[in-house]
Structure 1
């Protein structure tokens, strides 16, 4: 399957990779968005498409605008998308992200307006208008918006450069059920549609993100930036003391920014091409990502799955990015 190069070159300068971030902020979404907006000439953020997930849609759209304003980027359009999964009731994660989705971190209410376009319409229009293979979709949330767009406009699938999604798990097992990761579990039908659509997919699963732990030292490095963004990043990622035993008490995982880390510095990661299917039938294993690691099914690979990370290098990249805002 074709995966497109990370960047092109024109007249000796790097051409920014165009991305749309589909998101449900969420404190780790917030840090991913900040890293993308800080990336200068590497990434051009065309828009933020919001979906219900970590918290309901009204809060995810509010938080996305608060983050853009924190970064001084009121020019980035923020769209509201689907307010519930395709075929199931919405499950949210306030127990992780707080009632407001951003742990109650002191950010002012947004003054920039919500873009009037629906997120799904924006995805369809943007992919149809851009040259094929030039727009990457970065999915930090349940895949409802992407699946709805693909179902409504199948012609756009072939135009996608890559889908880089945070979701799923292999050996790491699940974080909301014994076998399912939150983003996939919230809307497994949508995940199934996206994985079966035929666009290139890069999956950033818990196997990688559980190695990107915010230790006290890494958190202190955010605070040491002595900027407003650094203060907020530190508050969003501060260890709570309730960290799961599965991380050895070292810190909490930083899931979503790993997607932007992959786009900016793929050498920090190890990857493998495998077949990935999503369980949509069994309530016991609903949303499980079944990864054929050893090729036993004979099914063709449909995803590049990241499985290891240079965590120190990643946190250096993230801290340096936040320092530019």
Structure 2
């Protein structure tokens, strides 16, 4: 039986790839819905991006719009990395889908309450929607199997010296989630920077089917910012949160107590782990620290090949 999940996202190039990775494996993951939150770009833009990705592969999955910005303060976007649209690169057709009328919190609440199985949440954006859900309806925490999230980093940040983007945008929300008592699997920069795709691999994608080509075009644009920041290869951050659900054996991890700094002048948004031999509090997070990159890339390519085949079959092979 596939694991029922809700994806919370802000597409975003790597969000789009993560959604496609999940869509390629319906025998393992049942996407009950997708929610969006202001992050990589403003809410309307990233919601439209999510709908365009779904429309491109004919995946009619309900999408609900969530919070426009963080619990406190103003939204900081990732426009420098993701462009004016939030997903610059390929010229995707307009979506044939529309978001549902419900807001993200009520949408998630209904899915969780009506499900016979516990729901796994897969946030790869600022954690505002998740924090609002479990604060307003704390009883749903018992109906959430786990949270496999992309965010944070124990060794360093990418917005500041200490803070990764998704956590930095809304550290108050992130702290609520990490301290919620819900089991968390954390794909932070420690592992996601190892999940890098290189130029020759991007070129190979662009020699394949329509979904692979679209992903290659996404990565062409996304890699511009990475090169500017001195990276060799293009880190596939968000897909790690999905890949762990599909193949946890690809990862090395450590169980630690993790919380989020919300007040420090130099450390606001930092994910702080207690790595002492005798920590003050029991572990609340499985922190992913290593990945079999070659196996991860094979999973990605095989998944896109599967979507390519389905799309070509649906179009009559043209």
Among 172, 175, 187, the residue aligned to 1:204: 187
Structure 2: segments with no counterpart, 5+ residues: 308-318
Q: Which residue does 1:91 correspond to in 2?
A: 76
- Indicate yes or no: 2:200 matched with 1:214: no
Change in Cα spacing, 1:69 to 1:274, as seen in structure 2 (3 Å) is same
TM-score using structure 1 length: 0.91
Among 245, 252, 257, the residue aligned to 1:275: 257
Return the alpha-carbon distance in structure 1 between the equivalents of residues 207 and 278 of structure 2: 49
Listed one character per residue, the Cα deviations across residues 264-304 of structure 1 (whole Å, up to 9, x for unaligned) are 11110001110001001123211000011234542111111
CA contact (8 A) 2:81 2:225 kept: no
Shift of 1:67: 0.5
- Indicate yes or no: 2:24 matched with 1:42: no
Listed one character per residue, the Cα deviations across residues 64-121 of structure 1 (whole Å, up to 9, x for unaligned) are 0001011210x20011000010012100011000100112421012121111111110
Q: Which residue does 2:311 correspond to in 1?
A: none
Q: Which residue does 1:140 correspond to in 2?
A: 124
The number of residues matched between the two structures is 305
Q: Which residue does 2:227 correspond to in 1?
A: 243
Return the alpha-carbon distance in structure 1 between the equivalents of residues 122 and 201 of structure 2: 24
CA contact (8 A) 1:213 1:251 kept: yes
Q: Which residue does 1:174 correspond to in 2?
A: 157
Among 278, 281, 285, the residue aligned to 2:267: 285
Q: Which residue does 2:137 correspond to in 1?
A: 153
Among 174, 190, 201, the residue aligned to 1:191: 174
Q: Give the helix-richer structure, 1 or 2.
A: 2
- Across the aligned residues of Structure 1 and Structure 2, the Cα RMSD in angstroms comes to 1.4
TM-score using structure 2 length: 0.93
- Indicate yes or no: 2:92 matched with 1:110: no
Return the alpha-carbon distance in structure 2 between the equivalents of residues 293 and 224 of structure 1: 45
Return the alpha-carbon distance in structure 1 between the equivalents of residues 293 and 213 of structure 2: 21
Change in Cα spacing, 1:241 to 1:111, as seen in structure 2 (3 Å) is closer
- Indicate yes or no: 2:291 matched with 1:306: no
Return the alpha-carbon distance in structure 2 between the equivalents of residues 23 and 256 of structure 1: 9
Moved over 6 A (4+): none
CA contact (8 A) 1:204 1:259 kept: yes
Change in Cα spacing, 1:136 to 1:242, as seen in structure 2 (3 Å) is closer
Return the alpha-carbon distance in structure 1 between the equivalents of residues 62 and 225 of structure 2: 36
Farther off after superposition, 290-299 or 110-119: 290-299
Structure 1: segments with no counterpart, 5+ residues: 1-14
CA contact (8 A) 2:89 2:217 kept: no
Return the alpha-carbon distance in structure 2 between the equivalents of residues 241 and 24 of structure 1: 18
- Indicate yes or no: 2:112 matched with 1:130: no
CA contact (8 A) 1:136 1:163 kept: yes
Shift of 1:130: 1.3
Change in Cα spacing, 1:320 to 1:158, as seen in structure 2 (3 Å) is same
